[in-house]
Amino acid sequence: MLVALGLLACAGGGPQTPAPQSPQQALEQFMTAVKAKDLDRMGDLWGSERGPAASWMKPDDLKKRLTVFQIYLNHVGYRVLEGPTAVTGENRMQQFRVELQRPNSCTVVFPIVLVHARNGAWLVNAVDLASLPNPADACKR
């Protein structure tokens, strides 16, 4: 009986969420993780052709980057304005233009690029943080 309980404890905390099979799913799941402040899930949904950053990036570096994403992309709602559209010269990538409703009532628009990883999953690859105003600044209307 104790061996069985030990095996269950080592097996993890339940079923793994399937990897996103479309750019739309990846974007939706990433934005949901941002809103929930779920850095672990964000690390599973952000990466490159190699796969999720959580599988190849140093944990401290990953946490720092994801924390910045979470601060800049924190939202009460969002909507896709455009996309997915092809990224010129990058056949594994798709881009969206997203409108973000921030908690301070600001609305901002930014591009986000997703990549089709070698493992078949779609992942967030690039977020243009430079196009987003500092979330600590007052809303410019």
**Collapsing DSSP states into helix, strand and coil, what is residue 125?**
strand
Domains, the chain, with CATH or none: 19-127 (3.10.450.50)
What's residue 105's pLDDT?
A: 86
What's residue 19's pLDDT?
A: 85
Residue among 68, 127, 61 nearest 98 (CA): 127
Taking 50 as the threshold, does the pLDDT of residue 13 lie above it?
A: no
Structure tokens of 74?
Answer: 């924190």
What's residue 17's pLDDT?
A: 75
Taking 50 as the threshold, does the pLDDT of residue 76 lie above it?
A: yes
Per-residue CA distances from 64 to 43, 55, 69, 104 (Å): 11, 16, 9, 23
What mean pLDDT comes out for the span 88-99?
A: 96
First to last CA, the chain: 64
What mean pLDDT comes out for the span 117-137?
A: 94
What's residue 138's pLDDT?
A: 77
Taking 60 as the threshold, does the pLDDT of residue 110 lie above it?
A: yes
What's residue 4's pLDDT?
A: 38
Looking at every residue in the chain, the average pLDDT score rounds to: 88
Cβ distance 68 to 137 under 8 Å? no
Buried b (16+ CB within 10 A) or exposed e, 4-20: eeeeeeeeeeeeeeebb
d(CA 97, CA 73): 13
Taking 90 as the threshold, does the pLDDT of residue 81 lie above it?
A: yes
Taking 50 as the threshold, does the pLDDT of residue 58 lie above it?
A: yes
